[in-house]
Structure 1
């Protein structure tokens, strides 16, 4: 399974460990069911996507792309900068332009923020996404680098896409792809933020990155070992391709030891193909022709984070999805299985992130500190139908998991690991991929969970 680790604050974990006992954690899956038509939302999403959006920010050498898919491009570089790539050992000079968003005041005073973006970066170009938060006490964080990203990995032309470690101001810290308060209980929360994207290219070049979507999810999910049970409200199953990460064990170990850790890109590829997109034969020519499902190898290579040393960087997976024609990807949190049902009803599957002990998810056959799988529907009894890539074969990927067990392992923020230590859960993190052209029902379903 994925080695993606969700990092919580030490103070919050210690406090919960002192006040919550094993009975509370164990009681989650067996709690009595009660209806939760619309759970209280503790998530705020803000994305800039339209021409009007891009014109509200501060442009330094960028221009708005007025096309079917609005975006930003380099119009006139405003400076040059040297970048020493820590993963290649080379230093190169790049010219750049920059766009800074207006300040967005979150509806949720946040303990965590996750940025995501959709872009195209031709060979020899890349982007850097930064976030600066304002705390409730009026102070501001530094500009945190949330990702240095290129869709390609040409050894001569491109940087290595990477998260950036060791970023903290004593109040908050960046953990791979997540900006989290150091003390979620006592520390001042992030009440507003700005995003900044810098577009880079080789000096004198005419090619440019294009950024179509930029935004962040701010959240303050209550710490909990268990979540309220929801009543089933949908019987539906979407037809989504099935791919197993396990069939790729040992393949391309330079990408996080091969298929055994490829749950995130395997799940991403399933949803990308659900929407009718896939790599071309030319794009797959690098893959050993003896390997089945070469597109999964492709997804692993092009979601790989060279700092994290894995394919489980959440925004990098969403960005990878957006490299396919007219496809968008975001990272967010959902508040309930009811919200997930509304997306499935509209034909939108989701990739969910969860961690659990073997005995906490009946039928899985494994435990994991972090794993991605694709939710594709619900049975008549309300149980979750998932394409679980941690299956021995493509044929075995479709699983049915008990509703109460699944919603608890996905939506909780705290759990006990195999040694009895209190560790973090994801609190409902998911990836949503969807095309630019949507039906009215699909737009409404996304809007209902804060995605526009």
Structure 2
């Protein structure tokens, strides 16, 4: 996030889409990440029903589901965490990394899901994946959709990803469009939703790569996508507080990293997304080893935040705010899953907090719209950790001058509106897009029954 309210790379793209949307469109993706909604906190069924009106989530995670797709050289594996691996290569391909200029030959195999019919014909789709990519391996995720008039999209690349950066540079792919829909960094979006065109179904395709002659393989544990159709709105109805609770989430400031490792989007000033991700990763008990952070200058505090920035960095977007890349980073820690979804209300968020699950949300606002923030932004991530007795939002805001200053309390009505709206006025009085409830959720690979019920209530399995 940039403290000054200047257009970010992603918000410029979002504004381009929003300009074409007169009515009924969800926003394009905003600068760096995630959002939620409005409510009372304890009605799990109600939260799930509210989300279902706007959002469709589908994920492939079980052995049966991995076996249900069309495999060319991939194989489903059972066990405590079922997944998909490269078994017998379907062939080889040369890939020239656009960010290094290096051309290498890779063995590959593919898996394609059956078509998934969206319960909510969508203006946007965002994928998530959780995978292990040992040295010498990487994956590609693609989507092909069916429009409401029966025509199909091309195969769109949603990400070329590796946990590390020694083999390829993880990257989104620009300039993908068929004149009716486009890929904006990590988000599929209908170009002009006012026409009524929607995406009614999609297939996902995984391609697993490895260096020829090795037995190494990626393992993909989770693949899914969130489709949504959020209506245009400058305001949302006020919710009724329903929960008082605060979770003990570690506090990290992005600001103390200002100027560090400028090759990763100008250093800590823009690291709201990985800083927030690292907070929740550590909340769940995951830790980086000294060996993993040994590359960080020992003079820098909190080397794990530098590490998170490096390993969420999207070399095409030139930033650390790629939503699926952050969720995938969280899932590189043993025992964690990560997804990108869209929540309907603060009720959904209270439901999660009540079950001990914090969330990462994305806001964009003028300095006068969020009391106590002290800045305006075209896109910024915070970690929501609880609610006060008055229903106000307790957030770990990484845009703080120190770790000690990270915990903030923001007024409920202000916060829910800047987070859930899809339209807003910037400091110049121009109409620009808002983020409309997108959210990162990180949770155990094996949730408790209670956690499983609560996640299902907000549409996540």
- TM-score, structure 1 length as denominator? 0.94
1:5 is matched with which residue: 1, 10, 18? 10
Query: 1 CA distance for matches of 2:19 and 2:423?
Result: 8
Partner of 2:404, secondary structure, is helix
Give CA-to-partner distance per residue, 1:194-220, whole Å, 9 cap, x none: 000100001111100000000100000
Structure 2 distance, partners of 1:46, 1:420, is 38
Note if contact 2:254-2:398 (Cα within 8 Å) is conserved in structure 1.
yes
SS in 1 for 2:111: strand
**Which of 302, 307, 315 is the equivalent residue of 1:306?**
315
2:27 is matched with none
- Correspondence for 2:300 among 291, 296, 314: 291
**Counterpart residue number, 1:247:** 256
Deviation at 1:5, TM superposition (A): 2.6
Select which of 299, 315, 321 maps to 2:324. 315
1:105–1:34 CA distance, 2 compared to 1 (3 A): closer
Structure 2 length normalisation: TM-score?
0.92
| 1:104-131 Cα shifts (integer Å, max 9, x gaps) | 0011000000011000101111000000
Q: Distance in 2 between matches of 1:395 and 1:9?
A: 35
Matches within 5 A, 1:360-371: 360-371=369-380
Unaligned ranges ≥5, structure 1: 18-32
Q: 1:209 aligns with which of 211, 218, 229?
A: 218
Is this contact kept in 1: 2:272–2:399, CA < 8 A?
yes
Give the aligned length.
434
2:281 is matched with which residue?
272
The match for 1:28 is none
Conservation of the 8 A alpha-carbon contact between 1:268 and 1:317:
yes
CA-CA distance at 1:9 after TM superposition: 6.7
Give how far 1:13 is off: 3.5
Find the aligned partners of 1:12 and 1:253 in 2 and give their Cα distance: 31
2:73 corresponds in structure 1 to: 61
- Counterpart CA distance in 1 for 2:105 and 2:77 is 26
User: Does structure 1 retain, via aligned residues, the 8 Å contact 2:254–2:272?
Assistant: yes
Alignment of 1:368-379 (within 5 A): 368-379=377-388
Pick from 251, 259, 274 the counterpart of residue 268 of structure 2: 259
- Give the aligned partner of residue 74 of structure 1: 86
Q: Is the 8 A contact 2:18 2:432 kept in 1?
A: no
Match of 1:416 in 2: 425
**Alignment partner of 1:128: what SS?**
strand
Q: Which of these residues, 389, 403, 415, is aligned with residue 380 of structure 1?
A: 389
For residues 359-379 of structure 1, what are the alpha-carbon distances to aligned partners after superposition, in whole Å with 9 as ceiling and x for unaligned?
Answer: 110000000000000000000
Aligned to 2:30: none
For the Cα contact (< 8 Å) 2:90–2:108, is it kept in 1? Answer: yes
Q: Within 1, Cα distance between the matches of 2:435 and 2:214?
A: 42
| Residue in 2 that maps onto 1:113 | 125
Residue 180 (structure 2) aligns with: 171
Q: Conserved in 2, the CA contact under 8 Å of 1:9 and 1:184? A: no
Secondary structure (helix, strand or coil) at the match of 1:126 reads strand
In the alignment, the residues of structure 2 paired with residue 182 and residue 14 of structure 1 have an alpha-carbon distance, to the nearest angstrom, of 7
Counterpart residue number, 1:26:
none
8 A contact 1:12–1:185 mirrored in 2: no
Deviation (angstroms), 1:12? 5.0
Structure 2 regions of 5+ residues with no counterpart? 3-7, 24-37
Aligned-residue offset at 1:436: 1.3
